[in-house]
Amino acid sequence: MQFIWAAAHRRALGEKEHYVKIKRIVANIATPDVEKAKAFYGGVFGLEKLMDLGWIQTYGSELMMTIQLSVASEGGSGTVVPDISIEVSDIDKALERIAKAKIPIEYGPANEPWGVRRFYVRDPFGKLINILQHL
């Protein structure tokens, strides 16, 4: 509580706090077989393999994206908290690609009261993935 009060007091006096600028946040998934990521993250979502050191592969996009980190007590609408959320530009196309890859849908698709359409699947490593599009 002392820290919160001190920070508020400095702001009231017009003192500026200096933070480290976050450049990116990376999700790391532990697995003994990094090759399993290729079909799911590369094939289904079209992410590019940006790095491959054998023991680690990084998939991503060169697009600039907003930095976000969410913490939650539930996943919304009575669901469990997903491990990763992937926002897509076309949820119907994502559903088609998931169906073509024969990946079972664990929740949804559903239009949620907070303005997204989403569904859950599991990646090859068992992580629960929330795939969403803002409406």
The Cα 85–Cα 107 span in angstroms is 13
- Res 3 pLDDT > 80: no
- Domain residue ranges of the chain, discontinuous segments joined by +: 24-134
More confident site: 67 or 109:
109
Grade residue 1 by pLDDT with cuts at 50, 70 and 90.
very low
Check whether 66 has a pLDDT greater than 90.
Answer: no
pTM, to two decimals = 0.83
Instruction: Map residue 94 onto helix, strand or coil.
Output: helix
Helix count and strand count (H, E) for the chain: 3, 6
Mean pLDDT calculated for residue range 10-27:
78
Of 125, 119, 128, 123, nearest to 96 by C-alpha is: 119
Give me the CATH topology for the region 24-134: 2,3-Dihydroxybiphenyl 1,2-Dioxygenase; domain 1 (3.10.180)
> How far is 37 from 59, CA to CA, in rounded Å?
8
H or E stretch at 120: strand 116-122
Give the mean pLDDT of the chain. 91
Among the residues of 13-120, which ranges form H helices? 37, 91-100
Q: Is the pLDDT at 85 greater than 50, yes or no? A: yes
Per-residue model confidence (pLDDT) at position 15: 67
Backbone angles phi, psi at 109, to 5 degrees: -70, 145
Summarize the confidence of residues 104-115 as an average pLDDT: 98
Residue carrying structure tokens 């990763």? 84
Q: How many residues does the chain have?
A: 135
Q: Please, which residues bridge with residue 119 across strands?
A: 131
- Asked whether residue 44 carries a pLDDT value surpassing 60, the answer given is yes
Q: Which is more confidently placed, 47 or 66?
A: 47
- 52: Cα separation from own chain's centroid: 21
